[in-house]
Amino acid sequence: MASSVLPYPLFDADNHLYETEDSLTKYLPERYKGAISYVQVNGRTKIAVRGQISEYIPNPTFEVVARPGAMEEYFRNGNPEGKSRRDIFGEPMRSVPAFREPGPRLKLMDELGIDRTLMFPTLASLVEERMRDDPEMIHAVVHSLNQWLHEVWSFNHQDRIFTVPVISLPIVEKAIEELDWCVERGARAILVRPAPVPGFRGSRSFALPEFDPFWKRVVEHDVLVTMHSSDSGYSRYTSDWEGAGGEMLPFQTNTFRMIAEWRPVQDAVASWVCHGALFRFPELKVAVIENGSSWVAPLLETLADVYKKAPEGFAGDPVEAVKRIHVSPFWEEDLGALADLIGEDKVLFGSDYPHPEGLAEPTSYVEALKGMSQERQAKIMGGNLARLLSL
């Protein structure tokens, strides 16, 4: 495996592990044992959440996975032939130990030229939305997953792999308890879904004052809040247009949903300032991961217009507040334009390895930075994230 040797250390903001079948259930309390199960459907293993089979992740065992970077050509040149996702993914591969365990992953990182990385779970992205009417169950399943993550990967493996636990917010006291538990065990970053928070009386923004005790504790712990692409529940809104229900299916073509693909993160970031949490807690460190950056300029333009018309609705300049958020753009986007817009100190390299949507060779991300000075490249490819984690 040949990777470019770069003159500065790489700190990847977006690597993934593939969970085992017991990752969500091993530590579940007895009363929730039936919440997650694996079932056979026409000879294929599927995950069932509360008895409902989910197709959100077609192969939830991850025994066979798409090859890393399988979609690079698709993102580089589009899909002029109209191939199916299966054809775009190409020949799958057997999952290897490096996708499942930290020891082999370190060796693979050495081969790939990655010095350090944030490590995100994969299966976790389906949990919260499918339990949205049972907040206590959400907290129980999330804690079970975090226990498994800590046992298998730890939250800090040799100061190189920083596994990111999930924090769900429905019950603020439980969220704080989970945050404390994770930080006590070495977590340097947490994953908060870019979505409204489900609750006993319906959903609401995570940036409303009722969540201030949680954000205050985040600031006290000095941990990074990552908002990683997830199932944010927006299929409910697109279904209103399409006349049918159904869960989000990220690997099936749906052009109407593709139009609004980044609406969840745009709304989430807007919520940070419209509902005031970034003003009440200016010390918060927030990074948007695996959501690209195409939403940034339109959102800033809209916020500037709203601020001009209704400054009394904000506790400060929303554009300047949003520019404090760090963004990990996709490699095929205009990274120079993003750096000029929000500042090079706010841009983070993320390869999404080993997902098919990511890069087979993470170091090739630097090709999108051609024309930048080595100093600017070094910040984006690792320096900015190291600073965020105080490393």
pLDDT averaged per 10 residues in sequence order, the chain, 391 residues? 76 97 94 91 89 85 94 89 85 96 98 97 89 94 97 98 98 98 98 94 95 98 96 82 67 73 93 98 98 97 98 97 98 95 97 96 95 95 97 91
Provide the β-strand partners of residue 161.
Answer: 117, 157
Query: Whole-angstrom Cα distance, residue 387 to residue 98?
Result: 27
Closest by Cα among 291, 297, 305 to 263:
291
Q: What pLDDT does 335 receive?
A: 94
**C-alpha separations of 234 from 55, 83, 228, 258, 264 in Å:** 16, 25, 15, 11, 7
The pTM of this model reads 0.93
Closest by Cα among 125, 124, 65 to 97:
65
Q: What pLDDT does 207 receive?
A: 98
Q: What pLDDT does 218 receive?
A: 98
Q: Reduced to 3 states, what is the DSSP secondary structure of residue 202? A: strand
Provide the β-strand partners of residue 189.
Answer: 224
Query: Whole-angstrom Cα distance, residue 52 to residue 316?
Result: 45
Q: What pLDDT does 2 receive?
A: 45
